[in-house]
């Protein structure tokens, strides 16, 4: 016990805050009966803790100067976007730094998933203020997340926050408390989650450019205003899935490459934040802006490069092209020369993989072959176990840490003013209607914790994360990158809020079977448009994506492989009409 030492006589005179009944109630939670003659001293020990806790409770929150708002950007104002046809926007703003450090994002607009702290702009987490904080109003952060600060320092314009799924816990886009986020290619269809608003807003610009390129009339009023780029979050596929559904580019970087400081966590081991853009060049640029050690985030490791050592991914991409061009190889038959591409066999055998998606991925593999790349099919049996390992390793922690904003047992800077209360009947009723997956997360964690082997199961799953990582690492000694599908089912229409839980959950089941593995192993993974397929219900043709995975901290190879593939034809240009 820390603090002033109180001798045996003195503690008897100390005013009691914890009485004997409270002590007995605490002990009963552990099925313990304290001997009668020892109760008084145990009560005293609890009183000492209570006094120590109150001392910390009375302290003001500490605002880390590394996350404080740049005074030059004050005052900050926000507004609600009207109209907001796709429901992509949460809160609008226009924040710039008058004297940025460089001009890499000059004249570029950037939105942030609504779990990222933008100083002076309300943060919702896709849920209600009562569920997020136990209060009636949303918190207004007093800090900028590191990714926000870095965008501003690179002359980017922070255009506001993008709606996200309820507590970032849905691979589809109908669970946000503000209502469904619509797909920019076809209203009423999912945009994927949980970075759904980010995908919709970047997708707006993608659709506008695509229609212009294909000689189609503009539909600007149906789409609303979009952004050039966005920063999303990914714990199981939440950057890659919505990027795939919206026909844009989205990367989950290597775990620890981009600091997560100032962003609502679900579970540190799988927390990732990264770029979502309309093209590969922008993605490389934005990644270079936000990457690098920040001195705060415990997700960063000794492998995380210091800021001055972050690779210039954009320059690497340009150099790769120039070298190929000089060799006469930047052609539809030779752009992939020298690249070794591995297709994970098991990724094409996950349950219920849509034939539409299977067809597009097979065509994408053929395109790698046509541009001169060496393609091999590699069996990684552990890939099919990955989702189970991901689930058991993280489920209890998400409920106890992420859903309560409890800090992990590592030094970090938790998001201030976020104090989600425990699940109650009132919060369950909201979740049951909007996002049953969040309520199910709590039930899952409770069930696991009540199993006699609950703790050892999580530990065993953690051990197998190392096995899973090693399996991919071995494969990546034989090839430069690995290929899988991203989504497993084609786009579905939004279910009604009044639909049964089964009807809300069923379309999401299996969505992360090819993505969540790389959240626990930490490998970089890119979602990029590869072609088109017919929606799961209805007649709409919608984008289909492939996933490119690289060695940890080797984003360069992922970007190079994607660029070479596109010489054979952009995925969105493989359009054969409706």
Helix axes 436-450, 425-434, angle to 10 degrees: 120
Here the contacts of 271-274 (C-beta below 8 Å, separation 24 or greater) are 271/233, 271/235, 271/299, 272/233, 272/234, 272/235, 272/239, 272/519, 273/113, 273/116, 273/147, 273/231, 273/232, 273/233, 273/234, 274/231, 274/232, 274/234, 274/239, 274/250
Contact at 8 Å (CB) between 367 and 410? Answer: no
Please give the sequence-ordered ranges of beta strands (E in DSSP) within 447-487, or none if there are none. 481-485
Active site residue 238: yes
Active site residue 194: yes
Q: Which of 170, 238, 347, 438 is catalytic?
A: 238
Contact at 8 Å (CB) between 161 and 117? Answer: no
Q: What is the Cα–Cα distance from 75 to 355, expressed in whole angstroms?
A: 53
Helices (H), 336-435: 355-370, 382-400, 425-434
- For the purposes of burial, counting CB atoms within 10 Å of the CB of 59, is it exposed (0-12), middle (13-18) or buried (19 or more)? exposed
Q: What is the Cα–Cα distance from 241 to 247, expressed in whole angstroms?
A: 10
Q: Which residues are bridge partners to 544 per DSSP?
A: 531
Q: Which of 468, 467, 469, 445 is nearest to 457 (CA)?
A: 445
Q: Which of 90, 113, 161, 173 is catalytic?
A: 113
Q: What is the Cα–Cα distance from 336 to 6, expressed in whole angstroms?
A: 74
Q: Which of 191, 210, 213, 211 is nearest to 201 (CA)?
A: 191
Contact at 8 Å (CB) between 139 and 117? Answer: no
Q: Which of 383, 385, 386 is nearest to 520 (CA)?
A: 386
The 10 Å Cβ neighbour count of residue 576 is 7
Query: At CA 563, angle to CA 559 and CA 566, rounded to 5?
Result: 140
- Measured CA to CA in angstroms, residue 451 lies from 402, 455, 456 at distances of 21, 8, 10
CA 268 from centroid of its chain's CA atoms: 11
Q: Which of 159, 161, 194, 265 is catalytic?
A: 194
The size of the chain, in residues, is 578
3-class state of residue 233 by DSSP:
strand
3-class state of residue 283 by DSSP:
helix
Q: What is the Cα–Cα distance from 363 to 374, expressed in whole angstroms?
A: 15
Active site residue 113: yes
Contact at 8 Å (CB) between 545 and 529? Answer: yes
Q: What is the Cα–Cα distance from 46 to 11, expressed in whole angstroms?
A: 12
Contact at 8 Å (CB) between 393 and 461? Answer: yes
Catalytic residues: 113, 194, 238
């Amino acid at each position: 016990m820390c603090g002033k030492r109180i001798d045996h006589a003195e503690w008897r005179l100390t005013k009691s805050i914890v009485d004997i009944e409270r002590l007995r109630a605490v002990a009963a939670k552990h099925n313990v009966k304290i001997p009668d003659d020892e109760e008084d001293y145990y009560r005293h020990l609890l009183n000492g803790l209570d006094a120590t806790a109150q001392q910390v409770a009375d302290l003001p929150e500490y605002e880390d100067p590394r996350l404080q708002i740049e005074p030059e950007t004050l005052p900050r104002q926000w507004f609600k976007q009207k109209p907001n046809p796709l429901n992509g926007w949460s809160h609008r703003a226009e924040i710039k730094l008058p004297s940025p450090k460089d001009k890499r994002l000059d004249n570029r607009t950037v939105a942030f998933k609504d779990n990222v702290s933008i100083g002076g702009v309300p943060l919702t987490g896709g849920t209600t203020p009562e569920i997020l904080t136990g209060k009636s109003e949303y918190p207004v952060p007093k800090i900028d997340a590191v990714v926000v600060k870095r965008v501003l320092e690179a002359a980017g314009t922070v255009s506001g926050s993008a709606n996200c799924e309820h507590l970032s816990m849905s691979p589809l886009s109908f669970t946000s408390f503000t209502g469904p986020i619509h797909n920019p290619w076809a209203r009423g269809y999912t945009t994927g989650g949980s970075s759904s608003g980010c995908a919709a807003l970047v997708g707006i610009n993608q659709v506008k450019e695509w229609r212009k390129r294909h000689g189609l009339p503009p539909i600007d009023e149906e789409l609303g205003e979009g952004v050039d780029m966005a920063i999303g979050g990914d714990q199981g596929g939440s950057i890659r899935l919505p990027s795939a559904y919206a026909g844009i580019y989205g990367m989950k970087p290597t775990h620890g490459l981009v600091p997560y400081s100032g962003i609502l966590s679900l579970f540190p081991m799988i927390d990732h934040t990264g770029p979502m853009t309309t093209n590969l060049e922008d993605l490389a640029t934005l990644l270079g802006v936000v990457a690098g050690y920040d001195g705060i985030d415990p997700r960063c490791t000794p492998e995380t490069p210091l800021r001055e050592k972050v690779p210039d991914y954009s320059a690497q991409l340009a150099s790769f092209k120039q070298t190929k061009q000089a060799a006469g190889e930047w052609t539809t038959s030779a752009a992939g020369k020298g690249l070794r591409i591995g297709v994970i066999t098991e990724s094409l055998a996950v349950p219920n993989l849509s034939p539409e998606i299977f067809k597009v991925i097979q065509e994408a593999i053929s395109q790698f072959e046509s541009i001169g790349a060496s393609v091999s099919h590699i069996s990684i049996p552990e890939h099919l176990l990955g989702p189970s390992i991901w689930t058991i390793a993280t489920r209890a922690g998400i409920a106890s840490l992420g859903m309560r904003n409890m800090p992990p047992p590592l030094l970090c800077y938790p998001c201030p003013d976020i104090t989600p209360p425990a699940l109650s009947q009132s919060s369950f009723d909201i979740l049951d209607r909007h996002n049953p997956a969040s309520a199910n997360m709590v039930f899952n964690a409770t069930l696991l914790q009540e199993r006699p082997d609950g703790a050892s199961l999580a530990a065993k799953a953690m051990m197998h994360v190392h096995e899973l990582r090693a399996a991919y690492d071995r494969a990546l000694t034989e090839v430069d990158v690995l290929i899988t599908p991203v989504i497993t089912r084609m786009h579905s229409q939004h279910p009604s809020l009044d639909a049964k839980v089964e009807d809300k959950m069923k379309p999401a089941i299996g969505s992360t079977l090819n993505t969540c593995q790389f959240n626990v192993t930490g490998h970089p993974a890119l979602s990029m448009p590869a072609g088109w397929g017919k929606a799961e219900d209805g007649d709409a043709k919608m984008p289909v994506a492939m996933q490119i995975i690289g060695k940890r901290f080797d984003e360069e190879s992922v970007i190079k492989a994607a660029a070479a593939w596109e010489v054979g034809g952009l995925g969105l240009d493989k359009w054969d009409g409706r």
